[in-house]
Amino acid sequence: MTRNENTKIICKNRKAYFNFEIGDVFESGISLVGSEVKSLRNGKANLSDSYGKFRAGELFLIDAHISSYEQSNKENHDPLRERKLLLHKKEIKKLLGKVTGKGFSLVPLKLYFKGGRVKVELALARGKKAFDKREAIRKKDQRRELERLAKYRHRES
């Protein structure tokens, strides 16, 4: 996805890059009610524990938290309701084949507005093992240490 003036990121799933090896990435529409869209315009969403699940040939986003809209009436939406993802049938069949056969999961990476519509960036992901996570932490610490040393050396000269 190229970032342009029509794209406004609502929220990102930062845990996904740590917990999963990210494979193919897909852009999907999402079926929402009005109060959910208004809440998203205020940036009230969380994708940290959410995932995609197939049910009756359709794809749904599970456990994505979109907070209730404060100005709406008592008929507000359920923050954790299942939301239908909008993809072409070919894309759904391709994803279904990879998820069922090869041990991949569908993980949402970000939620954003594109041309006035809400989009979800989904990734085919495989869970990382504990030693892979430790290795990622080790590399991040080493990079941080090198940056700190470079900054210190630059200050001395």
- pLDDT tens per residue across span 50-93: 888 888 888 898 988 888 887 776 677 777 888 889 989 888 88
- Domain membership of residue 46 (yes or no) is yes
- pLDDT tens per residue across span 116-154: 888 999 888 887 777 777 887 888 888 888 888 887 777
HSE-up of residue 103 (Cα within 13 Å, Cβ side) = 5
User: Quick check: 157 pLDDT over 70?
Assistant: no
pTM tops 0.85: no
- pLDDT tens per residue across span 13-54: 888 887 888 888 889 999 888 888 888 888 888 888 888 888
Q: Which residue has the tokens 């209730």?
A: 68
- Domain membership of residue 85 (yes or no) is yes
Q: Which residue has the tokens 């909008």?
A: 86
Dihedral of CA 116/85/96/80: which sign? positive
Q: How many domains does the chain have?
A: 1
Q: Residue 37 sits in a domain of what CATH number? A: 2.40.280.10
- Domain membership of residue 65 (yes or no) is yes
pLDDT at 5: 60
Collapsing DSSP states into helix, strand and coil, what is residue 29? strand
Pairing of the two strands 45-46 and 65-66: antiparallel
- Domain membership of residue 152 (yes or no) is no
